Structures are given as structure tokens and as C-alpha cells.
Chains A and B, each alone.
Chain A
Amino acid sequence: MQRAYPEKPEQVYFFGTCLIDLFYPEAGMAGIQLLEREGVKVIYPQQQSCCGQPAYNSGYDNEARKVAAAQIACLNEDLPVVVPSASCADMLRHHYPDLFAATPLHKQALNLAARTYELTEFLVHVCKVQLVDHGPAATVAIHNSCSAQRGMKTAQDAISLLRQMRNVAIVQQERASECCGFGGTFAVKAPDISNAMVQDKCDNLLATGANDLVSGDCGCLMNISGALEKRKDKIPAQHIASFIWERTQ
């Protein structure tokens, strides 16, 4: 069942995510600029930090809840919240309500969940963007995170955005839907299994001959491009917001 989407609002919150904050801020800026170009004013609350997912997935619910409560507090006005990561959007949208079940913040968590959108989802369904590609010819492999495919079900939105780009050819990797092995703390807690997964992912991506790798999740990008770099293989990897922004100015 498809989600009911609102009319394009005047302003939105932008929840930047901690990974983007520290390692990929250009992706966050590209997301903000894409939204503003559509005439949507973007509020970036300076009080924000992390959605709490790393602790939540590791089974530290109390710590996750404290951090999540701080995010709920700074995203408190009734505005859409746009998140440039399906994984963190999934946390806000689907796990906050569970995390705060039977607590005084439950209602607020449900309210926040209902107005949380993943960036590509928001661009496609709410802004209904029409992109004009000015970039050179590119062969691109998309890596959709597990959260984009299964939690948020927004994998198709990334694809449809790239399809709007006339000079971009999308290539399909083998076992495209398989997890890259990041899984937040999984990569550190089960490093050998994670490595087996990311090596296979790298092999499949290299086999496509793509000259760009694009994803809506910086966790996966960090994992895949980190592994590629370590093995001295190269496919430039970018967050989809950066990729689109650079080609459409």
C-alpha cells in the first residue's frame, strides 16, 4: 500500500544524520539545496545529533531512547522531516514508535514518524521534481540499502530519480538486493562475516563496469567504498543527493 503524500509544504526540517554530519556533509548540503530549489524552505535544527540507531541495533535501548528523545525535542513543530538516509528515516519512522511504546513520548514519536520522509521519497512524491541533466555520460550502479528496500520501501524512488537523468545509464549488479554487510555495529561486531559480504558486493559492482556508484545511504557507501579502497579498486561513490545536485545545476 502506497503512503498518502501531502501537498508540497512551505518548509521542512532536515535531519542530517551523524554519518553525513561528520563524513559526508556535502551530501547533506546537496539534499538541502535540492529541496530549496523546489521552493521548500529548509530548517536545520542545530540541536540535532544522531537518530539513536547504533545503540538501538546493539540492544542498548535505554541509551537509544535518551538520544531519540533529544531528536524528538528539536523536531517538535508540525513540519515534515526529510532525512537523506533510508536507514535513519526508518529509525524515526518505524522504530521510534516501538522504542517509546508505553512512555509519555509515545504520541510524539508517532506524530514524528508520520511526518518523516526519506529524501528521494520526498523529492519524487511530494516535490514531484523534474530534473534536467547537464552532466556527462555516466554508467551508474545503484546500491539500495536494506532499509530503502524493506523498511522504507523507497528503493524505487532513487531509481526513478536517476531515470530522469538523460545522460545516465543504470547498470544492474548481480544480487543487487543483497546486504552490503554494513549493518551499523554489525561490521565491527562480526567483522569477518561483514567482510565476506562486502567483498562479494564489491566484486558484483566491479563486474558491472559502472563508473559511478550511487546510494541513498552513507553507511553502505562508507562500507563499500572503504572496502574498494582497501583492495585498491576504484569506483567513485557518491550519495544520490550529491550526484543529482552536481549534474543538475
Chain B
Amino acid sequence: MSRFEPATVNLEFDKRVSDALQDQELRANFRGAMDFLVGKRAAMFPDKEDLEALRAQGEAIRNRCLSQLPELLEQFEQRCTENGIQVHWAETAQEANAIILEIMHKHDATRMVKGKSMASEEIGLNHFLADHGVECLETDMGEYIVQLADETPSHIIMPAIHKNKQQIARLFNQKIEGVEYSEDVDRLIGIGRDVLRQKFFEADVGLSGVNFAVAETGTLCLVENEGNGRMTTTIPPVHIALCGIEKVVESLQDIPPLLRLLTRSATGQAITTYFNMISSPRKPDEKDGPREVHVVLLDNGRSRIYADKQLQETLRCIRCGACMNHCPVYTRIGGHAYGTTYPGPIGQVVSPQIWGLHTAGAITKACSLNGACGEACPVKIPLADLIRRLRYESNNSEPTPVPGPRGQGSLRKRPEAITWKLWALLSRKPGLYKLVLFLATRLRALAPKHIGPWTRYRSAPRPAARSLHELAAQRSQSNASSQEHGRHE
């Protein structure tokens, strides 16, 4: 699993899933980690009513901000500019990459350190920069591990959650010069820190993501635990923040409830170790901080999502990852199996919309619509409904009033479409339906012992001797005749 290639998502999905299911070590790593995270979150929300009230508040805040997104973005740009932050708009991944490279070129910069940013994974920034001679180092410990292994993150909050300490010990031993094999976690973190510390001082540019962009004040907020976000955004002379356009909130007051939800849902922490607020470059009387701050506002399909009222709910996401932690499918196959930057339930909703159903729509089938994700979501995104909607769009060959996601109808399979047509015919013609019931019950001895993939793992269900239709009709007849009988007595 090296770099993320959108083109391979649909094509290789089944193989990825099957490989993941066969990897017992991987499955044990995920099961353990997800159980741990689910438990930690539950402990943070002991009172169900409090949690529901907070979720409703989070949902309302995100909806209010989204409802005025265009205005808030303009206000954000204006405040940032007033504060001395340079604002760039990127409609596509390519544009975002080009803007970032141009800033690097302007400063003759060849070394970048990065705080954790899923948006940069989304646009494939590391590889793009590497192709242009820029060395890019991930400084979040999980991202660093993943980068060292030439992999992509398998979780949006905990990128290296798929690895156990033995695997990390081996990796450090093999990839970092002079490092002996050690399974001591503190020692491993120490090794990583030693490498990263030097890189912070050498870097020309620091790149970060953004958790909340505040329109009222032009402030970039960054939630993190390791201090690498603070180092990335203060030590190098130039800071670039990459921010999805949906991350804008109206005012600072919107943040406390969202932050409470975010940290508790994500890692089961009441608060993270660091919460950075960046409102300007270094001022004349200040001793540290970057001399230039840039923010790149990334669309990359988001305004298309925004245009559809139902799909717009996708954009409420605050990237906590709770949906993955609670998803019984993600728990079993892990993040890499999806083959997309964003895995799990939110990934099943976001990815096909960013890269198109023809590219990434197939991952929506890895969902039993059990709803555990939506129940965990701190801003109440109805993830199962959205996954179902995208399945519909994947099959839908009819024109729609709103454009909808790209690749509509591209996954429609004729045999399947015909099967559903026949099923519909059967299920709305009572005579025909009852005839089929009659035949199935009378010929039940002939019922197939093998029914496609179902009987690979389960025995085949056997039709009953009489259908409920028949039994119920008999019963109502005998009830009627006994009433009749009663009346004569």
C-alpha cells in the first residue's frame, strides 16, 4: 500500500478487502484499537442526554455555518488579508498543489515539514512535491511512521493505527540509521523525536491542516497532541495552511462545543494537549513565528457536494473519525482496504463525491447500513442514508434536476437492474407473488442447496411447508366460521 491512486479504488477494492480479511495480524490490531477507542469515547460521554444535547448543538452550529458558507468564506478571506495572512483559492487538487509549489519556489524552498493534514493526502501533495524536488517530512508521529513505511494513513486521526509496536520497532530498525530494535514505546517515540527535531530547524516551509477557520477573526485553529503542529507552524519562516472550504465557522464562540465533541469523539480525550490559534504572521515585536502565513482554500469537489441539499450533510464532518471506530466493517478490514484517503463510513461518503462514483463508488457496497456510524457521529451526519443515496446514484441512469455526484449510473450492471425489475414486478402483482409462494412451498424439497455467495458461509434457508399468506387466510376463514357457528348457537 504505497501511494494513493484514485484510479485503482474501484478496480482493486475487492482484492484489497480480501487481502485485509486474510491478514490476521492486521485484523487483531484493528479490533484491539477500535475496541479501545470505542471504550474511551463512551467513558467521555457518561450521560446520554448530555451527549445528545451536545450533538444537537454541534449539528446546529455546523448547519448554520454551512448555510452561509459563501458569505463566511468571503469574510474569512477579508479578515485574513487584514491580518496579513495571504489567501489562495484552489478549485482542484492540481491547483492546490501548484499554488503550494509556487510558494515554495518563491522562497527557493526545498525542505518542508508537515503537521498532520488529511487534505494534503487528498491532493497527493507529498508525491507531487517529491516529483518537483521538494523533500517533505511528516512530523505527526503516526504520519511519520506511515511515511517511513511508504504507506498512506489508515485512519484519519491515527494514521498508523494498523501497526503494532513490534512492526514499528522493525520499521525503525530497518529505516533509520543506527537505530537498534526496541519494543519500548517511550524509546520508539524518543527515536522519532530526535529525527524530527533536527528537521524542524532545517525546514524552509511548514505546512499544516486546519480544524476550524474562523470567519469573524480570520483565525486558523489547529487541534493536536504532540506539539508538532505548533513546531511546524512557528519554526519555519513560512507557514502554509491547507484548508477545505467547509471548515469555516462563523465565530470563536462556535468552537468550544465543536472542540468538545471533536476530541471526545476522536480519541476519548476531554481536551487535547495543544490547541493552536493562528491569526497572523510574526508581528514586529514578536520573537518567533513565521514571517509569512498562507492559507490555501481547497474546493476539490466540495462545492458540488454543497449544491445538493441532502449530500450537503457530508460537509458537516469535523474529521473526528468516530464513525470509523464504530464501524463493524472498518474494524475488520482497516483503512487501507478502502484504497482512498478517507476510509470508513465518512470515506464511503466523501471519496465517491470527490473522485466520482466511476472512480470510487464501489466502496459504498462495504456497508451493512447498520447505522453505528451515524449514531456515533458528533454532528449527526446520517452516514447510512448518504451511503445508500450514493448507491442509488451509482445505478441511476436517469437525468436528475441537480447535477449530483460525478459518474452517475457508471456502476449500473444490466443483470442486476433486470433482476430488480423482475423482483418489482413479482412483488406488486399479488396473484403472481402468491403463485411463486405456492410453488416455492410445494416444491421446497427442490430448494437449491447453493445460493451464490450466501451459502459459501451459511446453510441455505428452506421454504416453509405453507406460506404465511396461506396460514393467515386459513386462520381468518376458521375465525369467521367459528364466529358464524357461535351466532347460530
Residues of A within 8 A of B (CB): 14, 16, 18, 20-26, 28-29, 32, 43-44, 46-50, 52, 54-61, 63-64, 66-67, 69-70, 98, 146, 149-151, 177-179, 181-184, 186-199, 222-223, 226-227, 229-230
26 examples of A-B residue contacts, CB within 8 angstroms:
A14-B472, A21-B437, A22-B464, A28-B468, A29-B468, A29-B471, A44-B468, A44-B473, A46-B469, A49-B430, A59-B391, A59-B392, A59-B394, A146-B370, A177-B372, A186-B369, A187-B453, A190-B17, A190-B329, A190-B366, A193-B333, A194-B368, A195-B457, A197-B328, A226-B454, A226-B461
Q: Could you tell me if A191 and B391 are in contact, using CB atoms closer than 8 angstroms?
A: no
Asked whether any CB of chain A lies closer than 8 Å to the CB of B421, the reply is: yes
A-B contact count (CB 8 A): 185
Q: Is the CB of B464 within 8 A of A230?
A: no
CA distance A61 to B372 in the complex (A): 23
Q: Are A192 and B21 in contact (CB under 8 A)?
A: yes
Is B458 a contact partner of A227 (Cβ separation < 8 A)?
Answer: yes
Contact A47 B430 (CB under 8 A): yes
Q: What's the Cα separation between A183 and B372 when bound, in Å?
A: 13
* Cβ-based interface call for B269 (8 A): no
A226 to chain B, nearest CB (A): 3
Query: Contact at B420–A69, with CB atoms within 8 Å?
Result: no
Which residues of B, 366-391, contact A by the 8 Å Cβ criterion?
366-372, 374-375, 385, 388, 390-391
Contacts of B463 in A (CB 8 A): 22-23
| Minimum Cβ distance to chain A for residue B411 (Å) | 9
CB-CB < 8 A to B441: which residues of A? 22
B430 and A226: CB pair below 8 A?
no
- CB-defined contacts of A151 to chain B, threshold 8 Å: 371
Minimum CB–CB distance for B127 against chain A, Å: 30
Whether B36 sits at the interface, judged by CB under 8 Å, is no
Q: How far is the CA of A52 from the CA of B423 in the complex (A)?
A: 10
* Docked pose: A57 CA to B416 CA in angstroms: 13
Q: Contact: A59 with B472, CB < 8 Å?
A: no
Q: Min CB distance, A249 to chain B, in Å?
A: 16
- Report whether A179 and B372 are in contact in the complex, using a CB–CB cutoff of 8 Å: yes
Distance in angstroms from A58 CB to nearest chain B CB is: 6
Given that A55-B423, A150-B375 are contacting pairs, would A226 and B328 also be in contact in the complex, using a CB cutoff of 8 Å? no
* Closest B residue, CB atoms, query A223: B458
Contact status B332-A66, CB under 8 Å: no
Smallest beta-carbon distance B448→chain A, Å: 14
CA–CA, A32 and B396, complex, Å: 39
In the complex, B105 has a CB within 8 A of chain A: no
Q: Judge whether B11 is part of the interface by a CB distance below 8 angstroms.
A: no
Chain B residues with CB below 8 A from A18, complex form:
427
Q: Is B198 an interface residue (CB 8 A)?
A: no
Which of B393, B456, B471 sits near A28, CB closer than 8 Å? Answer: B471
Known: A58-B416, A60-B395, A196-B27. 6 other contacts (CB 8 A): A18-B427, A21-B467, A24-B464, A55-B420, A191-B457, A197-B329
Q: Which residues of B contact A187 (CB under 8 A)?
A: 368, 453-454
CB <8 Å contact, A56 and B388: yes
Contact A229 B392 (CB under 8 A): no
Number of residues from B at the complex interface, CB < 8 A:
65
Q: How would you classify the secondary structure of chain A's contact residues: helix, strand, loop or mixed?
A: helix
- The residues of A that contact B197 with a CB separation of less than 8 Å are none
Pairwise interchain contact B420-A146, C-beta atoms closer than 8 A: no
Cβ-closest chain B residue relative to A147: B371
Query: A25 to B456, Cβ gap below 8 A?
Result: no
Shortest beta-carbon contacts, A-B, top 8: A183-B368, A59-B391, A226-B458, A191-B453, A179-B370, A44-B472, A146-B370, A59-B392
Q: Are A179 and B368 in contact (CB under 8 A)?
A: yes
B253 sits at the interface (CB 8 A): no
Give the secondary structure class of B's interface. helix
- CB pair B464–A57 under 8 Å, yes or no, is no
In the complex, what distance in Å separates the CA atom of A146 from the CA atom of B368?
10
CB distance from A239 to the nearest CB of B (A): 12
CB distance from B309 to the nearest CB of A (A): 11
Contact yes or no, B475 A193, CB < 8 A: no
| B130 interfacial by beta-carbon distance below 8 Å | no
B103 interface residue per 8 A CB criterion = no
- The answer to whether B369 touches A46 (Cβ under 8 A) is no
What's the nearest-Cβ distance from chain A to residue B384, in Å?
9
CB-CB under 8 A from B460, the residues of chain A are 226
Q: Are B329 and A193 in contact (CB under 8 A)?
A: yes
Contacts of A58 in B (CB 8 A): 391, 395, 416, 420
For window 49-82 of chain B, which residues contact chain A by CB distance below 8 Å?
Answer: none
Write out the residue numbers on chain A whose beta carbons fall within 8 Å of the beta carbon of B329.
Answer: 190, 193, 197
**Which among B333, B365, B370, B391 has the highest number of chain A CB atoms within 10 Å?**
B370
Distance in angstroms from B398 CB to nearest chain A CB is 8
A224 to B469, CA, bound (A): 25
Is B170 engaged at the interface, CB distance under 8 Å to the other chain?
A: no
Q: Tell me the B469-489 residues at the A interface (CB within 8 Å).
A: 469-473, 475-476
Is B466 close to A, CB under 8 A? yes
Measured CB to CB, the closest approach of chain B to A153, in angstroms, equals: 11
| Chain B residue at minimum C-beta to C-beta distance from A28 | B468
